[in-house]
Structures are given as structure tokens and as C-alpha cells.
Amino acid sequence: MLKPLSGIRILEMGQLIAGPFAAKMLAEFGAEVIKIEVPGKGDPLRKWRLLHEGTSVWWQVQSRNKKSVTLDLRQPEAQEVVRTLVKDMDVVIENFKPGALEEWGLAWEDLKAINPKLIMLRVSGYGQTGPYRNRPGFGVIGEAMGGLRHLSGEPGRAPVRVGVSIGDSLSALHGVIGILLALRSREQHSGKGQMIDVALYESVFNMMESLLPEYSVFNEVRQPAGSELPGIAPSNAYLCQDGKYVLIAGNGDSIYKRLMHIIGRVDLADDPALENNAGRVLQASKIDAAITQWTNLHPQSEVIDALNASQIPVGRVYDIADIAKDPHYTEREMILDSFLPDGTPLKVPGIVPKLSETPGEIRHEAPLLGEHTDEVLASIGITKAQRDAMRERGII
């Protein structure tokens, strides 16, 4: 069957994470993505983290299903190529600092005048408006301003990074949602496109649950709580006999009672003061101490087996080695086989979400730098002689 986004054409002018991650997801579900890269250098992500034969293995995931075209967007001829491409595009994705496209004559107003059906996703640190719009903003800053960094870590210690570029990824997901909404609106209504303004800090802030209403009503400023889930008990990390941790979420009323019976604390199970979460939160330390006393007596595997048998949510902390050998990941096709350009086997993450009738797929591996420049430029009427001349001047 046709993929949900078959026939949708996307021009990606972003780099690194936020914009390209959004385009990656759309490409997995059938969209044609043409990625613009700097001639000779390419997207900086090509050189991030661990490299194989000079190219990041991360690149192989972030850019699968895409076509690579090299264009120096600072040069007028390259800008004219973009304007020509835009005529037949459904979506443009960019995550430059606000004002960059305007300097190149590729502002939203310019592009929508060329193609009124165009949808444009603009991802930036602070958004396209507001007093901070001109500040440079990376994911780490968005995570801090959005409230996440303040909550990450142990009480009384320096805030820590989540471990991945979560601010960028959250912005990409919000961008994907925005594009899908805009495509639906275009289909349902006037046929016109629109601009989607996604800010890194707002994407993070959107995930901050009850932070603002609690401050508004109770003047409560939530503080970092380590592995504990604030206001929900019991839900924490507990040390086992073998020095490993388990995460236990025993916060449902019936789940809590079963958990207390398993650890031999019938007194806590039957205590009327602990029959619901509101009461348990007031005595969370006491409950956590009782659970820890029990987990300290058993190795991690025994704790997990015992709690799973009683339908109590429990898990261990996975590292990537655990993930790579876990049969559940394999069964659900969350670890797929791929190849590097030299034929080296490569494991890559599977596709999310999983659609029953029109699932996403990897149609081709990540492109070499400029691999599709000639193909794409020829499709808009630029001859070989013209392309050769553009190469000599460093335009492509």
C-alpha cells in the first residue's frame, strides 16, 4: 500500500538535530526529502560522535531515506535554485537562527509568494518573535529555559543533562505534529499552506506537566528529586543485593497493597492512612525504606521475577548493551539491520510509531554528500554544463 506521506515532497534546509530529525520521521512514512547541505562540508552531524571511515554512524540513522544536494545558500545562484525547487514542494524545514533565511531572500513571505500551498516548519531556540528571537539557542539552552534542567538530578547538586539532546528531539516531534496538522488543514480548507513556528524552550515547557499550575495556585516551585517521582508514592529506584537497581512503580492503590504483601509488610498494606496516594506521599520515605530493606535481601533478577509475577510495574535500568540483546526489542522490530557505505553491517533503531496498515520503512540508506545533486538539479532543468560551472564556483 502507499505510505501515508507518499507524494509529499519536503525540502530540508536544517542541520544537526531538530529539523533533520523531523524530516527523518516524515521520510520513513513515505515523504520524499531533499536535504540541502554545504558543499564540501555537509551537515555537521556527519562528524558528530563516533566516526566510521570519517562519517558518523549517527548520520546513517538521522538521514536515511533522504536525498543529499549540495548548495551554498549564501550565493544568489543557489538561492535561485531553492526558489525553483520550492515551486513543487509541499514542505520546507529549516532550523537556522531567525533572520538567516531573510538575509538570503528565502523568508517565509518570499517562499509562500512562489508557492501559496507551501508549509514551512521553522525551528529555533526562542521562536520567530519575542525579545529573545535573535539569541543563538541550542537544545541545552531550551532544556534549561523550559524548566527541565532544574528538575534533573539529585537534590542539592548541580543540575544534570538528561543524557540525549532531548530539547532538539522534542522540538522535532512538535514540528512533525505541526506539519501533519498543516497538511490536514490545507486538504480540508483553502488549499493554502502556513508557517509553523517551533521554539526549543516551548517544546520542553510543553512537557512540564503540572509545573505552572502548581506554582500559580500554591506558589510551589518543584525541586529536583533524583529517581523519585514527586507527589507519587511509591515510585523510585531501589538497590538490590547484587548492587544493581530496580525501578518500581507501586503507586496504584491495589498495586501498592500487593507490593506490601510481597515484601512482608502487611502492616503497611492495611494501614488506613496509606490506602491512597495522598496519604502515601506523606510517608513516602517510610515506604521507600521498607521496600529498600526487602530489595537489599534479593538479587535484581529475583526482585524483577517476583514483582512481574504479581503484575507490579518493575524494570531495570537498561544500557545499550541490554537493549541490543533484549528479545522484546527484536520481536517488535525496534532493532533493524542496515549497512554502512563500505558494506559494514550496522544495527539501527526501528521506526516509531507502528501503523498496522501503512507502516514506515527504510527505503534506502543515508546519502553520501551531494549524492543526488545532479539528479535533483537536472530535474528542474539545470544542464550538465551549468552544473559544471556552478561546481567550479563552489555553488554546488
For residue 3, being part of any structural domain is answered with no
pLDDT of 294: 98
Catalytic residues: 168
For residue 64, being part of any structural domain is answered with yes
Q: What is the CA radius of gyration of the chain?
A: 25
pLDDT of 70: 98
Do residues 42 and 142 share a domain? yes
DSSP 8-class letter at 97 = P
The pLDDT-based confidence of 128 (bands split at 50, 70, 90) is: very high
255 vs 323: CA distance, rounded Å: 27
Do residues 142 and 287 share a domain? no
Q: Does the pTM of the predicted model rise above 0.75?
A: yes
Do residues 14 and 57 share a domain? yes
For residue 200, being part of any structural domain is answered with yes
Q: Which one of 264, 289, 318 terminates a domain? A: 318
Q: Which one of 297, 318, 339 terminates a domain? A: 318
Q: What is the pLDDT of residues 335-362, one digit of tens each?
A: 999 999 999 999 999 999 999 999 999 9
DSSP 8-class letter at 167 = H
* pLDDT(39) > 90: yes
Do residues 108 and 158 share a domain? yes
Long-range contacts of 270-279, Cβ-Cβ distance < 8 Å, separation of 24 or more: 277/232, 277/233, 277/251, 277/253
255 vs 57: CA distance, rounded Å: 43
* pLDDT(1) > 80: no
- Number of structural domains (the chain) is 2
Alpha helices in 126-252 (DSSP H): 139-145, 148-151, 166-188, 200-205, 211-218
272 vs 285: CA distance, rounded Å: 17
Do residues 342 and 259 share a domain? no
For residue 128, being part of any structural domain is answered with yes
Do residues 108 and 144 share a domain? yes
pLDDT of 304: 97
For residue 323, being part of any structural domain is answered with no
DSSP 8-class letter at 365 = P
For residue 44, being part of any structural domain is answered with yes
pLDDT of 380: 97
Q: What is the pLDDT of residues 146-185, one digit of tens each?
A: 999 999 999 999 999 888 999 999 999 999 999 999 999 9
For residue 291, being part of any structural domain is answered with yes
Domain with 244, as residue range(s), is 235-318
Q: What CATH code is carried by the domain that includes residue 58? A: 3.40.50.10540
Do residues 173 and 260 share a domain? no
DSSP string of 223-279, one letter each residue: ---TTS-TTSSSEEEEE-TTS-EEEEE--SHHHHHHHHHHTT-HHHHS-GGGSSHHH
Do residues 345 and 285 share a domain? no
The pLDDT-based confidence of 190 (bands split at 50, 70, 90) is: confident
Q: What CATH code is carried by the domain that includes residue 295? A: 3.30.1540.10
* pLDDT(9) > 90: yes
Do residues 308 and 343 share a domain? no
Q: What is the pLDDT of residues 298-329, one digit of tens each?
A: 999 999 999 999 999 999 999 999 999 999 99
pLDDT of 105: 96
Do residues 140 and 252 share a domain? no
Cβ neighbours around 140 below 10 Å, total = 16
pLDDT of 143: 95
3-state DSSP assignment of residue 390? helix
Q: Which one of 318, 345, 369 terminates a domain? A: 318
For residue 211, being part of any structural domain is answered with no
Do residues 314 and 350 share a domain? no
Do residues 244 and 268 share a domain? yes
Mean pLDDT of the chain, nearest integer: 96
Q: Nearest-CA neighbor of 34 among 43, 23, 25?
A: 23
Q: What percent of the chain has pLDDT over 70?
A: 100
